[in-house]
Amino acid sequence: MTSALGAAGEVAIASLIKRAPLASSLAQSFAAQGFRLALVGGPVRDALLGRLGNDLDFTTDARPEVTKKILQGWAENVWDTGIEFGTVAGKRGDTTVEVTTYRTESYDPDSRKPEVEYGDSIEGDLSRRDFTVNSMALELTTKTPEFIDPFNGLEDLAKRVLRTPAKAENSFSDDPLRMMRAARFASQLDFEIAPDVLQAIKDMAGRISIISAERVRDEFTKMLMSKNPRTGITILVETGLAEIVLPEIPKLRLEIDEHHHHKDVYEHSITVLEQAISHEDRLGGPNLIIRLAALLHDIGKPKTRNLIPGGGVSFHHHEIVGARLTKSRLKALRFDGDTIEQVETLVALHLRFHGYGDGEWTDSAVRRYVRDAGDLLVHLHVLTRADCTTRNAKKAERLAKTYDGLEARIAKLMEEEELSRIRPDLDGAQVMKLLNIKPSAAVGKALDYLLELRLEHGPLGEDRATEELLNWWSKENPTTK
């Protein structure tokens, strides 16, 4: 079950020493108390792939209460929020560690939480893990470090394949979230899923429904933020998992016939996601908001699809329907309010650019575009550009040039008018003084009127704004003198 430190272990040790030198001192702290400690799971896999980070997972034969005491003598900060599952965490310098007692765990068929029992061997602990490439360990408290690989994870790592240590059906029955994790690892690591594992996911997809929305959300987010989310999304759709956790995506696979042609909306949405990712440098790097918006921007199309007599298809107001569906789905997945609001806004606005034709934008239209996008203006730029997936090179070039022109117009007006801070030329106090009214709905209505003038005509100045306000007020209240 265990092997002497071979070439693989030497690679992992070298990576560990280079990237996480504190691991050896932690091992010494456990050994001094007579306990074993091993680097385990993803960090071993990543060490072998040369991509080890500063978040390290360990397993030990020490019970959680003992682990906590040892960590308190080693780490700068310790927290035990996972102690009921045998896990204690700590941080020292830039290194964060999680130490978990050897355990076996199983799920009640109708329960979302595992029943944890502590084990007495590292091999037993490894047998309960999700995939063989995560079932390797590096024992650090023996005289000579040992590379432990009871399920041939190293071979699977070399083949870039995901298999389960135990029978896939048993593994997914114990923790159904592992099915989504397979899609996530396929995206993150560019691995294939073994045929029997893939079949088990298809057969057991319905079991994902017992997993909490928060855990599903976190796994989906990790997959979406990977370097190749197309792979994971495809797996979710083809296995039936998406039908349960994100049903709006498989619904994009609209039927197409010879008389009513339209783009493959599902393929288009994945392409838009990929093109948005290629523009993420404008947003400072990988960005969850733009990725969600790109993936979901057309989910209103199935509900608004209308066959046009004589051929063709329309999707009138799909952006409005899509924004509503986006809000509902993200709420169901327990995303935070800010994320939901931002993605909903982008979905609602994603067609705005195309509503203004081939570049005949008035200053008023530009101001409203900027006002409605608000802090999401650059996100909207990225989404709109990514949404051009036409294979017609001339059309693509024309759309790009048109949007270049819009961005130039925005930059010019930004400089001239401070578009990012569009507000009425008069404030509430001035309105109340000029109209001789108290705080009321009328003040808000007057400010809305002034804002519309500002958007339509640009900065008016205080004198003209006053004149316009008084004229408007006299029309609104003809008996007032």
Domain ranges for the chain:
2-159, 161-246, 260-419, 423-476
Q: pTM for the full model?
A: 0.82
Out of 251-255, 331-335, 427-431, pick the least confident: 251-255
According to the CATH classification, is domain 260-419 in 1.10.3210? yes
Predicted pLDDT at 257: 43
**Residues 359-387: tens digit of each pLDDT:** 567 777 888 888 889 899 999 999 999 99
- With a pLDDT cut of 70, the percent of the chain lying above it is 89
Tell me the sheet residues that pair with 117: 104
Q: How far is it, in rounded angstroms, from Cα 78 to Cα 338? A: 30
- Specify the pLDDT at position 170: 92
> CATH assignment of 161-246?
1.10.110.30
Mean pLDDT on 435-458? 83
- The label of the residue with tokens 């994009």 reads 252
Q: Rounded distance, CA 253 to CA 298, Å?
A: 11
Q: Which of 11-25, 92-106, 216-230, 295-309 has the highest mean pLDDT?
A: 216-230
Q: What is the pLDDT of residues 294-347, one digit of tens each?
A: 999 999 998 888 777 766 766 778 989 999 999 999 999 999 999 999 999 999
Rg (alpha carbons) of the chain, rounded to whole number: 29
Give mean pLDDT, residues 121-150. Answer: 91
Residue 115: the pLDDT is 67
pLDDT over threshold 70, residue 205: yes
Q: What is the DSSP letter of 140?
A: -
Query: Domain 2-159, what fold?
Result: Beta Polymerase; domain 2 (3.30.460)
Cα gap 223→314, rounded to integer Å: 32
In sequence order, what are the residues at sequence separation of 6 or more whose Cβ sits closer than 8 angstroms to the Cβ of residue 190?
Answer: 160, 227, 228, 231
